[in-house]
Structure 1
Amino acid sequence: MPVATTTTGRRPLTTAPTNTREDAPAVDASGETGTGFAARVSLGRVFAPVPSEFLLIASTALILTGFGLMMVLSATMATSVAAGDSPFEVVMKQAAFAIIGIPLMFLCSRMPVRFWKKIAWPALILATLFQLLVFIPGLGVTNDGNQNWIQIAGFQAQPSEFLKLSLALWLGYVLYRKQSLLRSWKHVFIPVVPVGGLVIGLVAVGSHDLGTGLILMAILLGCLFFSGVRLRMFLVPLLLVIFAAVYFAVTSPNRMARIMSSLVNFDSTACYNAAVGDCYQAVHGVWALANGGLFGLGLGNSREKYGWLPAKSNDYIFAILGEELGLIGCAVVLVLFTLFAVGAFHIIRKTHDPFIRIVSGGIIVWIVGQAIVNTGVVLRLFPVLGVPLPFLSQGGTSLLSVLLACGVLLSFARTLPQPPAAAPAVAAPARRVR
């Protein structure tokens, strides 16, 4: 076939034949196919460097979880053997929730922020319906006057633990959507106060669990505070929370007895000789801390766990920690909680998204505030409220909910703006020597 020539009489430059098949792999400048290049980019994103806040929160959460499994084993092995069970009976159940919760934490860390915004309403609705199961006869379980557990086929769970995270997400989403309207009273209180009051009422009034109810109140106040509402608008919900807490306390003889026992002098005869009275557990908790001293009796050598301290593996596990590992062990745990709080507050300070700031504030008020309350109860600074020590206390649903909350914080940490990389230094040209 003759080849056409140009006006200059020269033959035109011929190009390489192109592959017109749609399924043919594209070739980049380096000669690699587009599929291989995309796979390499995706793999690079998985192993991309993460912010220091991510590492701080993840490492402290993992260390505290391991610390908690060790202390649950130490606190329960003696009573398990006495009951004819394996010494690992209790800790294996706790470890099962840790094995489930840790992968879920890192899975949640991969979720985008828009995912948490979308599930805010469904999560609160599902958690509320889950909480309503405690009122069904045959499912609800009563413990120390609180009907806040369910039991199905030997499996026991505390639904209110999931209300904490879902309430923080819901408050963050609602207050985020109303950022430009938070100067108005009605937009601050509706629907925050009615819905929040309903959720808190299900736990504090319906289930008679004032300790968990107070934590939910603290989450609500924390989210309002970090949303940036005016101080005078923040004071009204604060006064409502204080009034509700006082009302729930004085209307319950059991709660009033626990409050009064915390006000009794430790050296008084009435408290010292209370073998089965309201001071019993508080006194033995202080004795456990006193026995530990500076360095402790050694891991596994607690004396109070042999039937003297009833809530040794949940509400009073900090006392067993102090008895076996001493003041140094207690200080290490408190430092870990402090580092966890520092990582969360860095997220609040660096983010530009109000939703991230509000939800992070609610989560940190929940976890760190609950840790402060639990340790304060053991030290007799607060009355017995029945709230577990996050990460450490026995309780699978408590551990699972806290690890999920850490996953949310890790997801937020991935969105933080990173400092610009430093430009490589350019060597100065060598001076010519004449």
Structure 2
Amino acid sequence: MASKTTKKKQKTLRQLWYTVFPRKKSWSGEAYYDYNLLACVILLTCFGLVMLYSTSAYTAKVKYGSDMAFFGKQAVISVGCIFGMMAISKADYHWIASWGTLLYGVSNILLFATKYVGEDVNGATRWIKLGPVQFQTAEIAKLAIILFIPSVIVKMGRNIKGWKSPLLLLFFGAVTAVLTWKFTNNLSSAMIIAGMTVVLIIVAHPWGTRIAIIGGIASVPAVSIIRSVAVQLAQSSDSFRWGRIQAWLNPESESSGKGYQIMQGLYALGSGGLFGKGLGNSAQKLGAVPEAQNDMIFTIVCEELGVFGAAVLTMLFVFLLYRLFFIAQNAPDLLGALIVTGIFAQVALQVILNIAVVLNVIPATGITLPFISYGGTSIVFLMAEMGIALSVADKIRLKDEYTL
């Protein structure tokens, strides 16, 4: 009884104190950090480095005289990028987003310039070289869209309703996508940029759910129509891309030509079985699958680690996307939510399209597998995006309390 009386007196004194000295609201979890996302990114990076060495050691030895040629470069960049990601995660994402407009303009200029001053690598002019630094301009464009489109949506506010604002956003995305396609001959990145823009519009627009449902229903007959049109065009055209479509439709008949990479990749997939041949024991990586360390690395994962290894890697990507979804859902404001949604869309589209190409569900497009495929520019900008996502997560407050 005495204890209850004492507690009531203490409560009355606290109320009196707060009346004289108003309470300052603070948030618990000031040190909140999404260690789950960080751990997943590091795990994917380590998995990618192991598979990169296994996949590229033979090719690197033949071409450069050292089996560490690809692995060493990627490892150094990856380690540096992990520290860079953690540094970016402590920056304010509002300040980072404020550079979105400038980055959007610069990325479009770089895309335009690539055709005229770019470096030719394996028959494709998609890189610009500045001294010892060589980078793929499409990767800068993806980050620009992630920062620029959400910033524009936030500035539009309630004006996002209707059709005029979405059309303007589509125009911004289309400009970058067309420049990526026409001036860097990179259709796969153009598709991802367009897809990211559409996803951001659907998420931000009040009618987004209805648009997504209608689009999903319409996509079912659209696939069969597109396939029929592709067959007719492939039969009547000799262009490079229609050749790829023809190889996709009939890979066996093109096994010694444009369908060679697809068939070799399918052989690797089929020979892996449930648990694979064992790490390092792939036969297809010994020259059968061209540039296996790039966009076809998933085939070697399946051959060496089997269905089990492919499933583990897929679950890692699912968990990564889940963490990004969690951050977007709990972001402190619309800007943070849309930025992380853009990152989510990019990673999801790249993973889905890369695996779809490997399984010959869609024609070959040259899309890399995030964190796994070889590529310095790709890992730099992916890590930067993960750092921005962690920066948004750092501002999440799950519970509030009052202190003096």
TM-score (normalised: structure 1): 0.77
Query: Are 2:40 and 1:60 aligned?
Result: yes
Partner of 1:263: 249
Measure how far apart 1:84 and its partner are.
Answer: 5.1
Shift in CA distance, 233/298, structure 1 to aligned 2, threshold 3 Å: closer
1:400 and 1:109 mapped to 2: Cα distance?
14
Q: Is 1:107–2:87 an aligned residue pair?
A: yes
Q: For 1:61-140, list aligned pairs within 5 A.
A: 61-83=41-63, 85-137=65-117, 139-140=118-119
| C-alpha separation in 1, matches of 2:319 and 2:209 | 32
CA deviations on 1:336-384 (whole Å, 9 max, x unpaired) are 0000111111122223411112111111110121011101111111110
Say whether residues 1:171 and 2:149 are aligned partners: yes
CA distance in 1, matches of 2:343, 2:311: 23
1:42 matched to which residue of 2? Answer: none
Q: Which of residues 374, 397, 400 is equivalent to 2:377?
A: 397
Alignment match, 1:217: 194
CA distance, structure 2, for counterparts of residue 221 and residue 352 of structure 1: 23
- SS of the equivalent of 2:54 reads helix
Counterpart residue number, 1:370? 350
Q: CA distance change for structure 1 residues 397 and 121 in 2, over 3 Å: closer, same or farther? A: same
1:30-429 equivalences in 2 (<5 Å) = 49-51=31-33, 54-83=34-63, 85-137=65-117, 139-141=118-120, 143-144=122-123, 146-153=124-131, 155-190=133-168, 192-231=169-208, 253-264=239-250, 268=252, 270-271=253-254, 274-275=255-256, 277-420=257-400
CA deviation after TM superposition for structure 1 residue 142, in Å: 5.2
Contact kept, 8 Å, 1:134 with 1:141, in 2: the verdict is no
**Cα offsets for 1:121-175 (capped at 9, x unmatched):** 12212322333341234x332544x421223456432111111111111000000
**Quick one: distance in 1 between partners of 2:167 and 2:274?**
49
Paired letter, 2:46? G
Structure 1 contact 261–279 (Cα < 8 Å) conserved: yes
1:98 Cα offset (Å): 0.8
Shift of 1:335: 0.5
SS at match of 2:129: strand
Q: Distance in 2 between matches of 1:179 and 1:117?
A: 16
Give the secondary structure class of the aligned counterpart of 1:178. Answer: helix
Map Cα deviations across residues 253-279 of structure 1 (whole Å, 9 max, x no partner): 211221222222x6x5x24xx22x121
Amino acid at match of 1:148: R
Is 1:176–1:227's contact at 8 Å kept on the other side of the alignment? Answer: no
Over the matched positions of the two proteins, sequence identity in percent amounts to 26
Backbone CA RMSD of aligned residues: 3.0
- Residues 31 and 394 in structure 2, CA contact (< 8 A), matched pair in contact too: no
The structure with more radius of gyration: 1
Distance in 1 of aligned mates of 2:167 and 2:206: 11
Q: Per the alignment, do residues 349 and 152 of structure 1 end up closer, same or farther by CA in structure 2, a change over 3 Å counting? A: closer
For residues 171 and 229 of structure 1, do their structure 2 counterparts lie closer, same or farther at Cα, with a shift above 3 Å needed? farther
Q: Distance in 1 between matches of 2:189 and 2:96?
A: 23
Contact 1:50/1:414 (CA < 8 Å) preserved in 2?
A: yes
Whole-Å separation in 2 of the counterparts to 1:85 and 1:420: 59
Answer whether contact 2:114 2:183 (CA < 8 A) is retained.
no
Report the CA distance between 1:415 and its aligned residue.
1.5
Shift of 1:186: 2.0
Q: Secondary structure at the match of 1:417?
A: coil
Q: In 2, distance between residues paired with 1:351 and 1:48?
A: 15
Q: Deviations over 1:6-49 (max 9, x none)?
A: xxxxxxxxxxxxxxxxxxxxxxxxxxxxxxxxxxxxxxx9x964
Q: Higher helix share goes to which structure?
A: 2
- Asked if the contact 1:347–1:412 (Cα under 8 Å) also holds between the matched residues in 2, the reply is yes
Looking at structure 2, the residues matched to 48 and 349 of structure 1 have their Cα atoms a distance apart, in angstroms, of 19
- 1:54-88 Cα shifts (integer Å, max 9, x gaps): 12211111111111111111111112222351111
Calculate the TM-score normalised by the size of structure 2. 0.82
On the 8 A contact 2:276/2:307 being kept in 1, the answer is yes
Q: Secondary structure at the match of 1:299?
A: coil
Distance, in Å, in 2 between the alignment partners of 1:147 and 1:333 is 31
Q: Is the 8 A contact 1:150 1:156 kept in 2?
A: yes
Q: Structure 1: any 5+ residue segments left out of the alignment? A: 1-44, 422-434
AA in 2 matched with 1:262 = W
Distance 1:337 1:164 in 2: 19
Unpaired runs of at least 5, structure 2: 1-26
CA gap 1:177/1:119 in 2 versus in 1, 3 angstroms: same
